[in-house]
Structure 1
Amino acid sequence: MSNFSEERLYKVLLAPVISEKSTFVADKHEQVVFRVLRDATKPEIRAAVEKLFDVQVESVQVSNRKGKVKRFGRTIGRRDHEKKAFVCLKPGQEINFQALEAK
């Protein structure tokens, strides 16, 4: 964990993903889903989650999603690409986002 700068670890996690699928995954597999930087690595993500939320991480899976092509009249654009991390916590560990919001 000491291999990564503390400043970098605070930037790796962008936001938790709160959706129907992510809550299903959280209940069934004890995983939490985060949007992360596109150049973040699995060890960086693991270190960031362990440092910020004071939990133990069992494994990390990542998913790269290509941005959709969208049109607005004649103009064609593209949404940004996105990387999501599915962080599997060790048994008995959990992250409560509502308690963190209250602080």
Structure 2
Amino acid sequence: MSTDVRHYDVILSPVITEKTTAHTELNQVVFRVRKEATKPQIKAAVEKLFNVKVMGVNTLIRKGKIKRFKGTIGTQSDVKRAIVTLAEGQTIDVTTGL
């Protein structure tokens, strides 16, 4: 089973917050993904990279916030996240790298 290099371009990083760690009870993992990534691409990338069975993928785009720093107004970039639901009994340890 060869891993396509493009799978590494789809998934950018895991999201580790209080809210996302609560998703582990529901057998879900949250990743930051490219804005152009589709649900089938995300599913294929997670299955190949982590060797797990994915039941579903939900995506959301968090709009960038306007921040002020020393009187200068800046805008954070938009971030696309994927909530990946794993099959029963499957787990991904996001604290370790790939």
Give the TM-score, by structure 1 length: 0.85
Counterpart among 85, 90, 95 of residue 88 in structure 1: 85
For the aligned residue pairs, the C-alpha RMSD in angstroms reads 1.7
Is it true that 1:44 corresponds to 2:38 in the alignment? no
Q: Distance in 2 between matches of 1:64 and 1:38?
A: 8
Bigger fraction of residues in helix = 1
- Percent pairwise identity: 50
Query: Aligned residues, how many?
Result: 96
Alignment partner of 2:32: what SS? strand
What CA deviation, in whole Å up to 9, does each residue of 1:20-48 have, x standing for no partner?
A: 00011111x11000000111100000000
2:30 is matched with which residue? 33
Give 5+ residue unaligned stretches, structure 1: none
Give 5+ residue unaligned stretches, structure 2: none
What CA deviation, in whole Å up to 9, does each residue of 1:48-92 have, x standing for no partner?
A: 000000000000000100000011233211001000000000101
Alignment partner of 1:84: what SS? strand
Offset, 1:10:
1.2
Alignment partner of 1:70: what SS? strand
Give the TM-score, by structure 2 length: 0.90
